[in-house]
Amino acid sequence: MDRRSLIAAGLTAPALVQLAMGEAHAQATSRSRLQTIQQNGVLRAGTTGDFNPMSFRDPATRELAGHQIDCMKKLADELAVKLEWVPTTWPTLINGLTANQYDIVATGTSVSVARMKAAAFTNPWGINAFAPLVRRDEAARFTSWDALNQPSVTVAFNLGTTMEQFARGALPNAAIRRVESPVRDFQELLAGRVNVTITSLVEGSHLQREYPQLQMILADQARNTIPLCFMVPVDDPIFLNFMNNWVMLHQTSGFFADLAKRWNLTLYRG
């Protein structure tokens, strides 16, 4: 029945609005991934497997491990569904999400305006920030951000990460080296092909423990504080609302605090 017929049938304007809202809600519910996940019994999570301690392959077992892996195991268990991992890369995170290859991205993603144009982000579970990572034998050379912003300095970053956009803006005078997955920017640093990479507090603190020849510097001057969130489809408010409440619930319960201790995370505290 069209609008004119409804009016002729005696429905008032408020009733028409209520009807339209009900139809919109029904349509949203029918396309929500939350309902699909429960009906199919499978939660599909996209992850890169290259961001220790967020998402990585355990050297001994070759199984996925990390903070984000534990989060998705918890979510799937509470939904009483099977967890299916879908491999992805940093440059294709959003493409995979919009192509319905997975329901959620869980690899330690941070928010950016560019990503917000095509994906939705949950409430933050933590706050990250950026700091330079250099070889320990060169650490004394770089005493400030200005010392890094020189033509004689080469900075590397992985394509598709938020570090790329930041490095181009913060260090416009430095030479750049763009690195494509599966190669990582810190590997270029270890090989001596670049002088610095821009890392996060989360990953940088881990890398300097794993590789004693690397050192995170200027951590007390960390820049670009940025929320850490799960990334979900932009057109599914029901699933987004569910995930927002899931994050809130487990922040309150202490789950995220315990997980940060387990994985020895360094987060921005202000």
Would you give the DSSP letter of residue 117? T
Together in a domain, 143 and 218: yes
Domain that residue 44 falls in: 32-125+229-262
Together in a domain, 243 and 109: yes
Together in a domain, 146 and 187: yes
Place of tokens 């970053």: 157
Q: Note the pLDDT tens digit of each residue in 54-93.
A: 999 999 999 999 999 999 999 999 999 999 999 999 999 9
Together in a domain, 220 and 133: yes
Number of domains in the chain: 2
Query: Distance of alpha carbon 187 from its chain centroid, rounded?
Result: 21
Report yes or no on 160 lying in a domain.
Answer: yes
- The DSSP annotation for 161-208 comes to SHHHHHHHHH-TTSEEEEE-TTS-HHHHHHTTS-SEEEEEHHHHHHHH
Cα separation, 80 vs 219, in Å, equals 41
User: Does residue 132 carry a pLDDT above 70?
Assistant: yes
Together in a domain, 173 and 111: no
Cα separation, 67 vs 264, in Å, equals 10
Together in a domain, 120 and 199: no
Together in a domain, 172 and 200: yes
Together in a domain, 220 and 149: yes
Q: Which residues contact 214 (CB under 8 A, 6 or more apart)?
A: 133, 134, 135, 136, 186, 189, 190, 207, 208
Report yes or no on 61 lying in a domain.
Answer: yes
Together in a domain, 155 and 171: yes
Its pTM stands at 0.76
List the single range of 23-32, 52-61, 137-146 with lowest mean pLDDT. Answer: 23-32
Question: Which CATH number fits the domain that encloses residue 75?
Answer: 3.40.190.10
Q: In which element (H, E) is residue 93 found?
A: helix 93-98
Q: Which residues contact 28 (CB under 8 A, 6 or more apart)?
A: 236, 237, 238
Report yes or no on 59 lying in a domain.
Answer: yes
Quickly state the pLDDT bin for 26 (edges 50, 70, 90).
very low
User: Is residue 211 within 8 Å of 190, Cβ to Cβ?
Assistant: yes
Report yes or no on 13 lying in a domain.
Answer: no
Kindly state the average pLDDT of the residues 21-49: 80
Report yes or no on 91 lying in a domain.
Answer: yes
Together in a domain, 100 and 220: no
Of residues 162 and 70, more confidence is placed in: 70
Report yes or no on 152 lying in a domain.
Answer: yes
227-238: burial string, b at 16+ Cβ within 10 Å, e else? bbbbbbbbebeb
Q: Note the pLDDT tens digit of each residue in 221-245.
A: 999 999 999 999 999 999 999 999 9
Together in a domain, 66 and 99: yes
Together in a domain, 148 and 201: yes
Q: Which residues contact 75 (CB under 8 A, 6 or more apart)?
A: 43, 246
Report yes or no on 16 lying in a domain.
Answer: no
Average pLDDT, the chain: 90
Angle at 218 between CA 65 and CA 190, to 5 degrees: 55
